[in-house]
Chain A
């Protein structure tokens, strides 16, 4: 069974840091780009970041550039989102997702999400 499981969400104060992890199973992990998508309470979907299958290239939405870093470990079938200098507007459910066709296209497998709350 193809599965993604996210870990690491929680409550953090503004300016703080969190590291989200995503464990993958059931597919050839090293063959696919992986990404994160977030959804603020009552709002729509927002793309956060994506990393190439090799980990050589990562891209970010403008609002998190310089604060978030996406990495992956193909030996552990995992991706990691390091989030620093967190702001109230980063509060959201964060979904880990697998690219569908190997390149940068759509997300065909999603985790159940992990909740990040930034509040004092």
Chain B
């Protein structure tokens, strides 16, 4: 399957932990990546290879993988974390393609 499914929305209070899931066959076979996109801005890579953080990304962002589901966890959520989050993977069998998840709107209450 070329689909990566995410919950449309997640809400959390400041200081709490937000968990966003991404499910699909592609992430069982390949690495998953996560992006944060704020309104009017280009996406920012926040997790690569399932659980690695690029330089400059706060430690409160973490990723994990288990079977056909990958998870983005944001601990100690801050107001500035309110954004859309997308997972992504690369599939090559039978057709080469990059696939993005459906996206999750994180609301900080």
Q: State whether B97 touches A105 (Cβ < 8 A).
A: no
Q: State whether A45 touches B48 (Cβ < 8 A).
A: no
Q: State whether A47 touches B98 (Cβ < 8 A).
A: yes
Output the nearest chain A residue to B92 by Cβ-Cβ distance. Answer: A104
Q: State whether B98 touches A50 (Cβ < 8 A).
A: yes
Interface residues of B in 8-46 (CB under 8 A from A): 31, 33, 35, 37, 42-45
B90 at the interface (CB under 8 A from A): yes
Q: State whether B48 touches A100 (Cβ < 8 A).
A: yes
Q: State whether A104 touches B100 (Cβ < 8 A).
A: no
A114 to B72, CA, bound (A): 29
Q: State whether B102 touches A44 (Cβ < 8 A).
A: yes
Instruction: Give the chain B neighbours of A46 by CB distance below 8 A.
Output: 100
Q: How far is the CB of A52 from chain B (nearest CB, A)?
A: 11
Instruction: Give the chain A neighbours of B86 by CB distance below 8 A.
Output: 44-45
A95 to B35, CA, bound (A): 14
Instruction: Give the chain B neighbours of A76 by CB distance below 8 A.
Output: none
How big is the A interface, by class?
Answer: 20 to 34
Instruction: Give the chain A neighbours of B42 by CB distance below 8 A.
Output: 95, 110-113
**Please, what's the 1-or-0 string for A42-68, where 1 marks a CB less than 8 Å from any CB in chain B?**
001111001000000001011000000
Binding site for A on B (CB under 8 A): 31, 33, 35, 37, 42-45, 48-49, 54, 84, 86, 88, 90, 95-103
User: What are 20 A-B contacts defined by CB distance under 8 Å?
Assistant: A37-B43, A44-B86, A44-B100, A44-B103, A45-B88, A45-B103, A47-B97, A59-B96, A61-B97, A95-B43, A100-B48, A104-B96, A104-B98, A105-B90, A106-B45, A106-B48, A106-B88, A107-B43, A108-B48, A111-B42
Binding site for B on A (CB under 8 A): 35, 37, 44-47, 50, 59, 61-62, 95, 100-101, 104-108, 110-113
